[in-house]
Structure 1
């Protein structure tokens, strides 16, 4: 088959969706399928087929004067700035995808509600559509609107993103979600028919990841201190500001640790300022975006994910594969992949004091920390089997093809 893996989001990027697309492409190609990757370019300025280095610029899709007129016309309709932002980008995304062409694909596998809705409206009549949803966009966007507009989320934004969530979850022949948490949100809150959804967790190329752990970089761990590590995006939802608050408390009682924050994002400067104001400049280090995460994890002792909103975090999967003790917030799908006290520690989201207590306990109890890591690795290497996960995806493809044929007859 000729398959297109598509996302609305900027690609390449740091995060689970891009990693999922890359690993799925490689595995599908090993089965003889042809696979292309599609996404938005930097700041949504263009749409591109990444593996072919083929793109179309937004300015070429619509002359600048026409684009300005279009934006002004939307301004009068969509008074909420966040809604206006996504309406316009959906419009240009759809134009760009149409320009690049979908006719050659037997099946399109979208990775979010936005790309699903856009591509469903323009896909050829015989092209099969499968969607994987990596989180609840409606929840994430409303949280963002509340944060930006200081807890004055508009009814328009709520209505818009609720409708988008439902449409994105029901436009494909079959929709895949990674856990029961997201399935229940879609069925209970957004009234998506349960028959539309398949629940399959992600797979991961554990063999390659374990090999990369031995690819050393210039970073060295301190001789006399344990290493706490966070890997991921630096945005509001990831809760890194709570980690810094917890470490501020921790420093009052002990200084036998350092913390490495690996990743970048819109909140990086704000977090660095918080870190400096807390007097942690010699304790917490910002590494930025890096390609040696497997090696950095191998040097660390405790992985912390202080997230406020999460689906099935890639960073936890990687920490488990590396055999690290994990402390993660008890939100979203996280409790489905960590057994508290056995394969990791679940901590209340947004509670810096409890996070401090949990970190301190693992620093204090070496045997318990090591046992958590060993249990996590044993479970993770079995649970995150990529072969099994890709076979589940292929089974969904076959079911979607059969469903499409019935509809077309």
Structure 2
């Protein structure tokens, strides 16, 4: 088969969805299939097929559409939120860009978000099956981003909520089959759109466990040696990841235990705000910003405790990696994480946003080495039995065969 894996976002990209895409591509190619990955270039200047000399200029398309669509939107909807206007322009740009590529040459198209699924549903050949893997809840992520950035007032919330939920609906209805990595996400979508239940299936992520273990043995880059217990958080510095709550919890932890250091691995829009918060909480001796790294497996091996304080999550690769790295994990009960961690058996859970509970969980696991080792062992055994990338690819191929048979 010739397969197109398509994303509305940047490819390549440091994040779980691109990890899924690249591992799926490799696995499918090992089975003899031809696979292309479509997305926005890292510079956001062109839409391209990754590692192929095929692209179209995004900015030229965007400007042409912007000149036509914005006056019309402002005329018909004078009070529309600016983000909606920008997103509509972006959506039409994505559709126009996809039309430049030879979509008819593919046997299967596999979308990686509701945005590109909606666009593909409008421009692809009708006979070509479209499968979508949904990696997160688009509507809640957008609303959280606009709210935390101060770009959304209460008066605007209802209209924007209806708009983003409609984007989710259109992406789902464009898809012949919808894959979610967690039951939580499946339930969230079907609670809003129950008619989609029959076309939804849960299939957890997989990862190349042996390759990850090999990378764990590589030498660390630019890390100060320490005798303190190392807490590590590997997540982009985004409001949705809950770093502010983590730092406030660490400030409480510092009052009773100071024999630790926390590594924040990743980068993002919250970096400067978080650095200011570290200074105001007097955590400068306890928190290090390591930025984006290409030695995360080795960092995880060196660390003692993994923490992920997210406000919203689905089936995070960061948590999968920590479990394979044999770390004790402390995570919020956001999204699909309770499907990956059983409290007091394979890790510790705490309520979303509860800094007191997070601080207490960290304190307990710092002081109790036996608990830490037991949780790490149980978590590792559970993950090793579940996260085979070979089995993930096998499941996806069966999904492809299912929609092809229907067609």
Q: Same fold (TM over 0.5)?
A: yes
Task: Tell me how many residue pairs correspond in the alignment.
Answer: 403
* Match in the other structure for 2:69: 70
Deviation of the 1:170 alpha carbon: 2.4
Aligned counterpart for 1:296 among listed residues 290, 295, 299:
299
| Structure 1 residue 113 corresponds to structure 2 residue 114 | yes
Aligned to 2:183: 180
Q: CA RMSD in A?
A: 1.6
SS at match of 2:100: helix
Deviation at 1:168, TM superposition (A): 1.3
Summarize the Cα distance change of 1:43–1:88 in structure 2 as closer, same or farther, 3 Å threshold.
farther
Distance 1:150 1:194, change over 3 A: closer
Partner Cα distance (2:61, 2:10) in 1: 18
Give the gaps of 5 or more residues in structure 2.
none
Contact 1:221–1:299 (8 Å) recurs in 2: no
Instruction: Kindly indicate whether the alpha-carbon contact (under 8 Å) linking 1:169 and 1:192 is maintained by their aligned counterparts in 2.
Output: no
Shift of 1:46: 2.2
Give the deviation of 1:126 after TM superposition. Answer: 2.3
- Paired residues for 1:341-360 under 5 Å: 341-360=344-363
CA distance in 2, matches of 1:307, 1:117: 27
SS in 2 for 1:118: helix
Residue 38 of structure 1, CA deviation: 0.8
Match of 2:220 in 1: 217
Q: Which residue of 1 aligns with 2:47?
A: 47
2:264 aligns with 261
Q: What are the Cα deviations for residues 229-279 of structure 1, in whole angstroms up to 9, with x where unaligned?
A: 000111111001111111111111221000000001111111111111211
- 2:93 corresponds in structure 1 to 92
Aligned to 1:407: none
Query: What does 1:143-292 correspond to in 2, within 5 Å?
Result: 143-147=144-148, 148-149=150-151, 151-152=153-154, 153-220=156-223, 222-292=225-295
Cα distance in 1 between the residues matched to 2:283 and 2:224: 17
Aligned residue in 2 for 1:83: 84
Question: 2:340 matched to 1:333?
Answer: no
How far 1:67 sits from its partner (Å)? 3.5
Q: State yes or no: 1:368 paired with 2:375.
A: no
Is 2:148 the partner of 1:130?
no
Structure-2 separation of matches of 1:43 and 1:89: 16
What's the CA shift for 1:42? Answer: 4.0
Instruction: Map 1:302-321; keep pairs closer than 5 Å.
Output: 302-321=305-324
| 1:65 to 1:40, Cα distance in 2 relative to 1, 3 A | closer
TM-score by length of 1: 0.95
* Alpha-carbon spacing, 1:61–1:373, altered in 2? closer, same or farther (3 Å): same
Whole-angstrom CA distance in 2 between matches of 1:227 and 1:128 = 47
